[in-house]
Amino acid sequence: MSDATPKATGPVAPARNRIGLTRADYDGAKSTLCPGCGHNAITAAIIQAAYETGLKPSEVAKLSGIGCSSKTPAYFLGESHGFNAVHGRMPSIATGVRVANHKLMLIGVSGDGDTASIGLGQFCHLVRRNVPVVYIIENNGVYGLTKGQFSATADVGSTTKGGSINDLMPIDCCALAIELGCGFVARSFSGDQKQLRPLLKAAFAHRGTAVLDVISPCVTFADHEGSSKSYAYVKEHDAPLHDIEYVPYYEDITVDYEPGTTREVEMPDGSHLFLKKLAEDYDPTSRERALSVLHASRAEQKLLTGLLYAQPSLKPFEDELNLVDEALATLPQETVRPPKSVLEAVMEQLKTGKGMTAGAGGG
Amino acid sequence: MPWRRRETVPGLHLKDSVEPITNDFSITVATVNGSGSQTANVVLLRALFQMGIPVSGKNLFPSNIAGLPTWFTIRLNKDGYIARRAETDILVVMNPETAAEDVASVQPGGIIVLNETIKVPPIPDDRTVYRVPVAKLMEPITTDVKLRRLVGNMIYVGVLAELLGVAEDEIEKALDAQLGRKPKALALNHAAVRAGWEHAHANFTQRPPFRAARMNATQGKILIDGNAAGALGALFGGVTVVTWYPITPSTSLVESLIGYLERFRRDPATGKATFAVVQAEDEIAAIGMVLGAGWAGARSMTSTSGPGISLMSEFTGYGYYAEIPAVIWDIQRVGPSTGLPTRTSQADLLSAHLSSHGDTKHPVLLPSSARDCYEFGTQAFDLAEQLQTPVFVLSDLDLGMNTWMSDPFPYPSEPMQRGKVLTDRELATLPKFERYRDIDGDGVPFRTLPGTTDPKGVYFTRGSGHNEAAQYSEKPEDYRGGMDRLAKKYETARGLVPAPVIDGQGHSAGIIAYGSSHWAVVEARDRLREESGVETDYLLLKALPFTDQVRDFVARHERVYVVEQNRDAQMASLLKIEYPEHAARLRPVLHYDGLPLDARSVMGPIAAGEGAKATARVPEVARR
């Protein structure tokens, strides 16, 4: 786990990825978060995953709401346009950006306050519409910027730093996303780069909303004994569903798994996720199973991590809208302003009233 | 079978000896929401329009799907006045529940067409009552009970046609336009009209004092509601992203727009759309999507009403500070929650213009006609992109949902103005790019769109805390510098928004009005001159911020009557803030009962203010 946004410091000639960029090309501004914050490790994982898969920065837009987590898009992919929206409303911005230009890949970063409280409605509707966004929740169960209040993901019995106890049921953003029909739902831990990176890479390849709920301890307000999102607690209770390996579409599959030991998920671009069985076999294509294991794990106080649910073939929002291939944002006037003959035909209709329907009331 | 024409026998009845009032009266149809009267009312309206008579149609309807009282008023006016006429000359009683009140609202000398099964209190002798056995007349036409009720409305169309002299061929043409695609329904409705006509012809020997007569004042004109006009404006303005949350009275704008987009903006070969319409989960999401799309370069808009404006306000301020184009239509209605969602108002002026926390002020377009709705529907996109800011279009229920006569709309003469967007090619020639630097001195910086490949063009968008290079900053000089530049941009807007229209000069009294109030003011000025000898000059505002013509107009007039449909004199307040030296000249004329403005409501206060003998105000029944 790294403490600050890692910088690429190659010795002589830095390594380059498949599109000729160095890891440093994916860096952003210096993090202003607390040293040790889980969010910085997630930032590092995003940078690494973007570098390794060769994302083109100009084809990415970074979006966020408000909160500690929402500051982080400034700390990665400095050569991508960014949008720090208002609290909890990043999903609507993402929806607008995506319909205006469906060629952009969107990375959205949110927090548990931003998503599970003020932005819960927009989160649900983003998922319902299946707007292609890599939606990362940096989840620490606490409001950091306002100094330590509970968020809606805090577990029952958790305490604040000051000792007050949370009695309210937590909102499980993964269970919610699965319930709402999300086609890619994963949970991970900021301290587990080995798991987080392949999940991020698969999410980049997903055409639809990809929800990644990443437990990301707050070193200042929630890293104490009473917190179920402290480093110590998460390490002790982390129960990975599988070991994950990601093989991008442009690489050959060289791993050879023994039959019955591994499940395979193919992403729309031909990339593969290999999920290697650990204690029990886990089928991430079953919604019922995903929901029941999440439910059971809560009772057992286990933090299930890994790919909880995947159905990569769902129709993304822009297919639903049946948009033209070119981005709406850059369509020329001759495409978007109908010719004079159309106006004349409409005017003729309004003269005679032919083909018009009567208005109605409402409330 | 052609309808028989009434042979006029001069002197047969008392009323016939009086010269009838021709093409200058109003008809109110009192009925029940959801009872199918709309088709009947439109047929009547269209037939009169086709006869060349200036008309307007207003639907006074409740917040209800079916069962509550609703009124449709048609005004005919040979001089072209199409504001609401407060007085009822002809009443059609189809709703037992409101019949007593409705009957009481009829002017002396007026007529009442009464569905004979409806009980009404005794009616004074100076009103003529025509009793119509609607149910009995429907019996031979259809056995279907539901159809009898729905099509029964056509009976009063036939009765009125006969009594007023509405041309049969125009009724037929209007019926055909409405129902031509449904031959069965057409035949049924046609039979009902005829039954009404025949009944009136055979039984009503007393002639009413009103006549509809052919004239030539509607040749080439169209009938349209402001919302459909606004939708056409957006269509020809090249809108690509539309987001909305249903809310009366703005819903029909987006629904009209969806209709037009589906017809004219799909690739005929592939069926693919050059537009996206998203029904959002609420108005907050609707404006968020508009801003996201605007940021990415699309021409994006939403349409709402007052409650939506309130919900959108945080994001609207974000759009102001981050400088993102957006078009927001507000079809104004009255009050929050179960207020009067189906009644008209101009009370969102301040909440739209100053929407959001922090120092914000937004350009506002103020359409006063269907044609304005169309033209501003296009122009709002140009302004939003030229100024990189949210632009409001403030319509209202009266303008948006009622039927207005208009000249046909002209095709846009100018290309779309997309504003200062730097392409990769332009970026390549520049040493650097700073998103919020005022290069041209007009307060409007250059922007780039996500997807730009030149890394120089990349920037990070935030709210108020940024410097000229779009970097996070809390430095006092950066915030203040940004605010001052935004103020400069607002000054630039004065030169871009539509100018006011001024009529008359040299008089000491002036009138300022905007939006749907315009039509009542036009009529009020003529009648003030004719009835009270009061002469006025008139400035019709078309936008905020005010242009120099507004200041000059206020300065030139000793008394300036500011006519508006809200309680708190919102426009007058803005004028006072802008021109404190002239504050004493401004005199609010206010109307805020939820009904469309009528000329008398304007004339009374102005005549009083001008020391003229005020024209007696006709007291209105509380409901109407």
Q: In the prediction, which pLDDT does B66 show? A: 78
Tokens of B378: 């296009």
Q: Using the 3D structure, point to which of B442, B463, B494 is the last residue of a domain.
A: B494
Evaluate if residue B10 carries a pLDDT over 60.
Answer: no
The β-bridge partners of A138 are: A111, A214
Nearest to A86 among B315, B449, B472 (CB): B315
Other Cβ atoms within 10 Å of A87 Cβ, number: 17
Chain A residue numbers touching B181 (CB-CB < 8 A) = 355
Is the residue at B618 inside a domain?
Answer: no
Judge whether A9 lies within some domain.
no
Q: Are residues B333 and B452 in the same domain?
A: no
Mention every residue, 6+ apart, whose C-beta is less than 8 A from residue A293. A241, A282, A304, A308
Confidence category of residue B308, pLDDT binned at 50, 70, 90: very high
Are B509 and B476 in the same domain? no
To the nearest whole angstrom, how far is the Cα of B575 from the nearest Cα of chain A?
33
Written as one letter, the residue type at A1 is M
Phi and psi, residue B479, nearest 5°: -65, -50
* pLDDT value at residue A36: 96
pLDDT at B118 over 60: yes
Within a domain: A332: no
Summarize pLDDT for B555-597 with one digit per residue, the tens. 999 999 999 999 999 999 999 999 999 999 999 999 999 999 9
What residue has token string 């004493």? B584
- pLDDT in the model for residue A257: 80
Domain presence at residue A328: no
Shared domain for B488 and B508, answered yes or no, is no
ipTM above 0.90, yes or no: yes
Label each residue of B36-84 as H, E or C. Answer: CHHHHHHHHHHHHHHCCCCEEEEEECCCCCCCCEEEEEEEEECCCCCCE
At residue B18, the pLDDT reads: 67
Give me the pLDDT at residue B623, please.
Answer: 30
- The per-residue pLDDT for range B17-57, each reduced to its tens digit, is 568 999 999 999 999 888 889 899 999 999 999 999 999 99
Q: Is B232 on the interface with A (CB under 8 A)?
A: yes
CATH code for the domain of B127: 3.40.920.10
Contact A96 B289 (CB under 8 A): yes
Q: Residue B50's closest chain A neighbor by CA?
A: A352
Query: pLDDT-derived band of residue B621, with 50, 70 and 90 as boundaries?
Result: very low
B302 and B244 both lie in a single domain: yes
d(CA B531, CA B535): 11
Same domain, B202 and B242: no
The SS3 assignment for B89 reads strand
Under DSSP, the state recorded for B392 is E
Residue A235 structural domain: 23-319
In this prediction, residue A97 carries a pLDDT of 98
What pLDDT is recorded for position A279? 83
CA distance B123 to chain A (A): 31
Output B602 or B7, whichever has higher pLDDT. Answer: B602
For the purposes of burial, counting CB atoms within 10 Å of the CB of B494, is it exposed (0-12), middle (13-18) or buried (19 or more)? Answer: middle
Tokens of B251: 């819903």
Instruction: Indicate whether B86 and B117 sit together in one domain.
Output: yes
Q: Is B509 inside a domain boundary?
A: yes
**Which residue ranges in chain A fall short of pLDDT 50?**
1-3, 357-363
Q: For chain A, how big is the Rg over CA atoms in Å?
A: 22
How far apart, in whole angstroms, are the C-alpha atoms of residue A317 and residue A130?
Answer: 5
Continuous segment of H or E residues that includes residue B509: strand B509-514
Asked if residue A361 belongs to a domain, the reply is no
CB-based contact (8 Å) between B350 and chain A? no
Count of domains observed in chain A: 1
* Residue indicated by tokens 């002299």: B165
| pTM of structure | 0.94
Q: Which of B46, B225, B289 comes nearest A95 by C-beta?
A: B289
What does the pLDDT look like over B229-273, one tens digit per residue? 999 999 999 999 999 999 999 999 999 999 999 999 999 899 999
Q: Which residues of A touch B455 (CB under 8 A)?
A: 57-58, 79
pLDDT of A13 reads: 86
Q: Are residues B347 and B462 in the same domain?
A: no
Residues B375-387: tens digit of each pLDDT: 999 999 999 999 9
DSSP A341-355: HHHHHHHHHHHHTTT
Residues 514-573 of chain B whose Cβ lies under 8 A from any Cβ of chain A = none
Task: Determine the pLDDT at residue B378.
Answer: 98
- Across the interface, whether the CB atoms of B275 and A100 are under 8 A apart is answered no
User: What tens digit of pLDDT does each residue of B154-190 get?
Assistant: 999 999 999 999 999 999 999 999 998 899 999 999 9
Chain center to CA of A69? 12
Verify whether the Cβ–Cβ distance A78 to B249 is below 8 Å: no
Q: At what angle do helices B306-322 and B283-295 cross, to 10 degrees?
A: 30
- Identify the three-state secondary structure at position B197: helix
In this structure, what DSSP letter does residue A200 have? H
pLDDT of residue B86 exceeding 70, the answer is yes
**Residue B143 is assigned to a structural domain of this protein:** yes
Domain hosting B454: range is: 424-494
Here the CATH number for the domain that contains residue A212 is: 3.40.50.970
**A157 domain residue, yes or no:** yes
H or E stretch covering A239: strand A238-240
- Report pLDDT for A8: 53
Rg of chain B taking only CA atoms, in angstroms? 27
| For residues B64-79, average pLDDT | 91
Q: Taking residues B105-114, what's their average pLDDT? A: 95
Residue B13 has pLDDT above 60, yes or no: no
Q: Give a yes or no: residue B184 inside a domain.
A: yes
What pLDDT shows up at residue B16?
A: 46
Distance in angstroms (rounded) separating the CA atoms of residues A323 and A102: 9
Domain count across chain B: 4
- How far is the C-alpha of B244 from the C-alpha of B302, rounded, in Å? 5
Structure tokens at B79: 């001089």
* CA nearest to B162, candidates B202, B218, B108: B202
In a domain, A350, yes or no: no
Reading the block at residue B557, the tokens are 């007039």
A109 vs B contacts (CB less than 8 Å): none
- Decide if B216 is inside a domain: no
Q: Tell whether B59 and B196 lie within a shared domain.
A: yes
User: Is residue B141 classed as helix, strand or coil in its secondary structure?
Assistant: coil
Phi and psi (nearest 5°) for A223?
A: -110, 30
**Selected residues 461-520 of chain B with any CB under 8 Å from a CB in chain A:** 461-463, 472
Whether B292 sits inside 8 A of A355 (CB atoms) is no
pLDDT of res. A355: 64
Q: How far out from the chain centre does Cα A277 lie?
A: 24
Q: Which of B494, B528, B554 is the last residue of a domain?
A: B494
Domain contains B238: yes
Domain co-membership, B444 together with B558: no
Q: Which residue has the higher pLDDT, B66 or B42?
A: B42
Dihedral, CA atoms, B113, B116, B120, B125, nearest 10 degrees? 50
Residue A333 lies in a domain: no
> What pLDDT does B233 receive?
98
Kindly list the residues from chain B whose CB atom is less than 8 angstroms away from the CB atom of residue A346. Answer: 232, 260
Residue pair B519/B75 in contact by the 8 Å Cβ criterion = no
Kindly report the CATH number assigned to the domain that includes residue B592.
Answer: 3.40.50.920
Task: Give the pLDDT of residue A10.
Answer: 53
Nearest-Cα distance to chain A for B612, in Å, is 41
CA triple A300-A303-A306, angle to 5 deg: 130
pLDDT tens digits, one per residue of A287-305: 999 999 999 999 999 999 9
How far does B89 lie from chain A, in Å, by closest CA?
24
CA-to-CA separations, B124 to A146, B96, B210, in angstroms, rounded: 72, 19, 18
Asked whether residue A58 is assigned to any structural domain, the reply reads yes
Which residue, B211, B235, B269, sits at the end of a domain? B211
C-beta atoms of B264 and A89 within 8 A? no
Sequence-distant (6+) residues with CB within 8 A of B491 are: B443, B545
Residue B396: band (very low, low, confident or very high) from pLDDT cuts 50, 70, 90: very high
Residue B512 and residue B372 share a domain: no
Instruction: Report the C-alpha gap between B565 and B590 in whole angstroms.
Output: 6
B581: which residues sit within 8 A by CB, 6+ positions away? none
Same domain, B163 and B254: no
Q: What is the CATH number of the domain that holds B375?
A: 3.40.50.970
> Is the Cβ pair A350, B241 closer than 8 Å?
no
Q: Which residue of B has its CA nearest to A59?
A: B451
- The pLDDT score that the predictor gives to residue B4 is 45
Q: Looking at the complex, does the CB of residue B221 fall below 8 Å from at least one CB of chain A?
A: yes
B31 and B161 inside one domain: yes
Q: Within chain B, how many helices (H) and strands (E) appear?
A: 20, 24
